[in-house]
């Protein structure tokens, strides 16, 4: 079987890596090329770059960042943030992204998922979903960095998107993001039971135990950010621990 993937995520604003808690209080965490290259050397299975620039000028850097990172990266690269059209996606793919993630624009205009899947294939089309816990085993899709509620139920939205051609789900728990309190396992279980496409769990990782929990709950990959950027651990140490516990990850 394919091995579970450990995926460092770089939030990039105006060409610099940033990290915050619950999408707020962003602070500088370095240069994207240096960071991506370092995580590749540590054994990362993939890299995700999410552009969180607040302005169109800032977002313009995403293509340039993608292109620079591609030159050093021999593992897959997913880029998201501000992708609103097939043209936006094409520019990122041309620059060297292997997959493109859409979020807010897909909520506003779900046809975007069909368009991307038809033009580039489902394996290129990642739907990023920010999920906020609402009531017992229910989650609401939130957008704009959690500032805007959509009224959409997460499970229904993801099923709908998978049927439209999304090939992978990047599932972020808004409640856990940046908190290092563990992934929202109920959310992961609910979503992976609802769709047959790969789900990347995101939000809340602090240690290898958290990664194992997310993978046992049905995720095929785990996104890691804070603990790597803060130097708490490395991809290599996390993998060593997972392997020692019997997980079949790529060494």
Partner 1 sequence: MSADVVVVPTGTANAASVAAAFRRLEAEPKPAKNPDEVRDADYLVLPGVGAFGAAMGHIDRHGLRETLTDRIKEGRPTLAICLGMQLLGEKSDESPGVSGLGVVPEGVTRLPRDLTVPQLGWNLVAPGPLSRFVKPGWAYFANSYKLASVPDGWIGTQTEYGGDFVSAIERGDVLACQFHPELSGEWGADLLGRWLNGTGGRS
Q: By CB under 8 A, is residue 94 in contact with partner 1?
A: yes
For residue 77, give the DSSP letter.
E
- For 192-249, the three-class secondary structure string (H helix, E strand, C coil) is HHHCCCCEEEECCCCCHHHHHHHHHCCCCEEEECHHHHCCCCCHHHHHHHHHHCCCCC
Q: By CB under 8 A, is residue 1 in contact with partner 1?
A: yes
Q: What are phi and psi of 128, to 5 degrees?
A: -90, 130
Residue with tokens 């309190």: 181
The count of other CB atoms within 10 Å of the CB of residue 79 is 31
Judged by CB under 8 A, which of 37, 42, 85, 122 binds partner 1? 122
Choosing from 11, 45, 88, 177, the catalytic residue is: 11
Q: By CB under 8 A, is residue 246 in contact with partner 1?
A: no
Q: Is 218 in contact with 188 (CB distance < 8 Å)?
A: yes
Q: By CB under 8 A, is residue 172 in contact with partner 1?
A: no
Q: By CB under 8 A, is residue 40 in contact with partner 1?
A: yes
Judged by CB under 8 A, which of 154, 221, 224, 225 binds partner 1? 221
Q: Is 116 in contact with 165 (CB distance < 8 Å)?
A: yes
Tell me, residue by residue from 45 to 84, as one string, x for binding to partner 1 by CB under 8 A and - for no binding: x---------------------x--xx-xxxxx-------
Q: Which residues, at least 6 apart from 57, have a Cβ–Cβ distance to it below 8 Å?
A: none
Task: Identify which of residues 98 and 114 has a Cβ nearer to partner 1 in the complex.
Answer: 98
Which contiguous run of DSSP H or E holds residue 36? helix 32-42
Give the angle 129-8-130 at the CA atoms, nearest 5°.
15
CA distance 159 to 230: 35
Q: By CB under 8 A, is residue 121 in contact with partner 1?
A: yes
Clarify whether 11 is annotated catalytic. Answer: yes
Q: By CB under 8 A, is residue 3 in contact with partner 1?
A: yes
Q: By CB under 8 A, is residue 165 in contact with partner 1?
A: no
Choosing from 130, 177, 184, 206, the catalytic residue is: 130
Q: Is 131 in contact with 142 (CB distance < 8 Å)?
A: yes
Task: Identify which of residues 140 and 168 has a Cβ nearer to partner 1 in the complex.
Answer: 168
Pairing of strands 99-102, 125-135: parallel
Q: How far is the CB of 78 from partner 1 (least distance, A)?
A: 10
Clarify whether 186 is annotated catalytic. Answer: no
Q: How far is the CB of 126 from partner 1 (least distance, A)?
A: 9
Q: How far is the CB of 176 from partner 1 (least distance, A)?
A: 23
Task: Identify which of residues 196 and 246 has a Cβ nearer to partner 1 in the complex.
Answer: 196
Q: Which residues are catalytic?
A: 11, 130
List interacting residues with partner 1 (CB under 8 A).
1-5, 40, 45, 67, 70-71, 73-77, 93-98, 119-124, 167-168, 196-198, 220-221, 250
């Amino acid at each position: 079987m394919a091995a579970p993937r450990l995926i460092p995520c770089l939030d990039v604003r105006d060409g610099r890596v940033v990290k915050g808690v619950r999408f707020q209080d962003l602070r500088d965490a370095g240069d994207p090329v240096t960071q991506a290259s370092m995580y590749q050397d540590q054994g990362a299975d993939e890299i995700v770059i999410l552009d969180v620039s607040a302005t169109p000028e800032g977002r313009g850097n995403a293509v340039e960042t993608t292109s620079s990172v591609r030159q050093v990266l021999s593992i897959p690269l997913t880029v998201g943030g501000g992708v609103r059209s097939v043209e936006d996606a094409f520019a990122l793919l041309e620059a060297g992204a292997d997959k493109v993630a859409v979020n807010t624009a897909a909520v506003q205009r779900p046809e975007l998922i069909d368009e991307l899947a038809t033009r580039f294939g489902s394996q290129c089309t990642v739907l990023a979903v920010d999920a906020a816990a609402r009531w017992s085993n229910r989650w609401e899709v939130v957008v704009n960095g959690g500032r805007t509620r959509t009224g959409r139920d997460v499970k229904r939205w993801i099923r709908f998107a998978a049927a439209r051609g999304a090939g992978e789900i990047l599932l972020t728990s808004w409640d856990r993001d940046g908190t290092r309190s563990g992934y929202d396992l109920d959310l992961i279980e609910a979503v992976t039971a609802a769709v047959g496409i790969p789900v990347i769990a995101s939000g809340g990782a602090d240690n290898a135990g958290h990664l194992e929990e997310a993978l046992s709950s049905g995720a095929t990959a785990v996104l890691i950010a804070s603990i790597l950027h803060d130097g708490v651990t490395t991809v290599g140490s996390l993998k060593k621990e997972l392997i020692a516990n019997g997980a079949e990850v790529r060494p």
